[in-house]
Amino acid sequence: MDDNDLLRYSRHILLPEVDLAGQEKLTTSHVAIIGLGGLGSPVALYLAASGITRLTLVDHDRVDLGNLQRQIAHTESRIGEPKVHSAALAIAGINSDTLVKAVDQKLSADELLRMARDVDLIVDCTDNFESRRLINRACVATKTPLVSGAAIRLEGQLMVFDPTIEDSPCYQCLYGDDLQTEADCATTGVIAPIVGVFGSLMALEALKVILGIAKDHTGCLTTLDGLSNRWHNFSFKKRPDCPACSG
């Protein structure tokens, strides 16, 4: 790291949980963010600001006016542009050292597998169950850690799955294979700051996993009722009949 890096990341380096070795670990990591909307925006910006210098951004949508209420990586001037390109511009304005690979398409199951093999961690910021199911299966198959979050109405939830840990449950251990388990967030209202809260938490969990300082981070569902500001944690175990990770 040069003098500019030491200055840029000095507040990280001062933390004993990070230090110089941890910051160097961050700067050599490769993270994929799938979905550059309300959750993916703060994830992308915070990971780039934190020194993750390789980001793969995946989203097939374009920026529209209705996104700007909550998707802080995008601007009025970029309406109509692919979200991955808009997010890449926002990242460049924060950290020009970040190498961004923009994937402006919806990935198939095989493409997700290839991508999962190429990265150190995936952050799932998608807004539908089918995409989450496919991403989870790719992470299980390649033993790639996964941070998954969702926000809807005034509520949010966060989970971390780490297939490198023995008996770690996966997303489908909790939700099974029923496509009707949860609503599609794209067709339901959401208060703007809730996606910022959970996007920031997802970025934090991603950094903790990469740094190796995450504790008891699997098999736990964290939820927030934003109306009452009440947090809850629910523990769950690996299902022996899980369709994704039971083997």
State the DSSP string of 174-186: HHTT-TTSS--GG
Give me the catalytic one of 185, 220, 242, 245: 185
How many C-alpha atoms does 98 have within 13 Å on its Cβ side? Answer: 28
| 242 given a catalytic annotation | no
**Strand order of the sheet with strand 146-152?**
99-103, 54-58, 30-34, 121-124, 146-152, 155-161, 220-225, 230-235
Question: What are phi and psi for residue 162, nearest 5 degrees?
Answer: -130, 95
Closest alpha carbon to 64 in 86, 45, 40: 86
What span, in angstroms and rounded, lies between the C-alpha atoms of 46 and 187? 27
How many C-alpha atoms does 170 have within 13 Å on its Cβ side? Answer: 27
3-state secondary structure labels for all residues of 37-89:
CCCHHHHHHHHHHHCCCEEEEECCCECCHHHCCCCCCCCHHHCCCEHHHHHHH
What's the CA angle centered on 156, arms 128 and 40, to 5 degrees?
60
Residues labelled catalytic: 185
